[in-house]
Structure 1
Amino acid sequence: MLVRLHYASHAAAPLTAEIVDSILKKSREHNAALGITGMLCYSDDLFMQVLEGGRDEVNDLYNTIVRDTRHDHVRILSYEEISERRFGGWTMGHVNTAKVNPSLLLKYAEKPSLNPFNCSGKASMALLDELIATASVLTRCS
């Protein structure tokens, strides 16, 4: 059974390029072996991520993320059983929203910034879909 889990969290420490690169590298290596695909968005001190795969693998990975000291205030935005993957071509694509047109962010939120804590899971997923459509996603596969 395939599931999609969409969550947001605050970074426990300021994000640096090295921290993000480390997270992405480890995710791509680890997730591929588990059959997990997805996408990570980050901005300032916020993460928003979608994980897709088998129910047990996704749930186990989410529980690992909740315990990861690099994350604070981890919150599920949506969780659903799915018939097909939306991010099947990504072992872990990523988006740096600092490089996204602010009007796109404003389309889905009160302010032109990424803050999935202030919008619905549906709106933040729609933002991810539009980021894919506008080729704002980096690194489809590793």
Structure 2
Amino acid sequence: MLVRLVYASRAVDPSPDAIEAILAESRSHNPASGITGILCYGGGIFLQAIEGGRSAVNRLYSHILHDARHRQIELLVYEEICERRFGGWTMGQANLAKINHSILLKYSEKPELDPYAMSGKVALALLEELMATASIIGRA
């Protein structure tokens, strides 16, 4: 059974090296677990979608909950799915500092990433638009 999980968190260390370390770890471990997804970050905030088998996604989320690189972790969406939306990425990335801010403004009150003020449905729609507008990089 496939599931999708979307969560938000704040980076303890928002430096480019710390972000790259998280992405590198994801890209090296996720394929063996059948995990796909995307990571969006901006202003020290992560918005991540993870897809895969229920047990694998649950294990990964448990790991994230105990990962000292994240704080204020909030679950936005957890749902059973028929197919993956982000299946082309072991962990795609979107750096919001490099995209058109009108995309963010379409989904939030201000042109900045604040998934804590979004519903899970809106956060997922934002991720889908970032994918559709080729704002996601790192296809594996």
TM-score category, normalised to shorter length: over 0.9
Partner residue, 1:95: 94
TM-score, length basis structure 2: 0.98
Shift of 1:45: 1.1
Identity %: 56
Shift of 1:95: 0.1
Shift of 1:74: 0.5
1:71-124 per-position Cα deviation (integer Å, ceiling 9, x unaligned): 001010000000110111100000001111111100000000001001111111
TM-score, length basis structure 1: 0.96
C-alpha root-mean-square deviation of aligned residues, in Å?
Answer: 0.7
In structure 2, the gaps of 5 or more residues are none
Question: What code does the residue aligned with 2:22 have?
Answer: I
Question: What code does the residue aligned with 1:55 have?
Answer: R
Aligned residues: 140
Partner residue, 2:10: 10
Partner residue, 1:51: 50
State how far apart, in whole Å, the 2-side matches of 1:97 and 1:125 are: 15
**4+ runs of 1 displaced by more than 6 Å?**
none
Secondary structure in structure 2 of the residue aligned to 1:33:
helix
State how far apart, in whole Å, the 1-side matches of 2:6 and 2:24 are: 20
In structure 1, the gaps of 5 or more residues are none
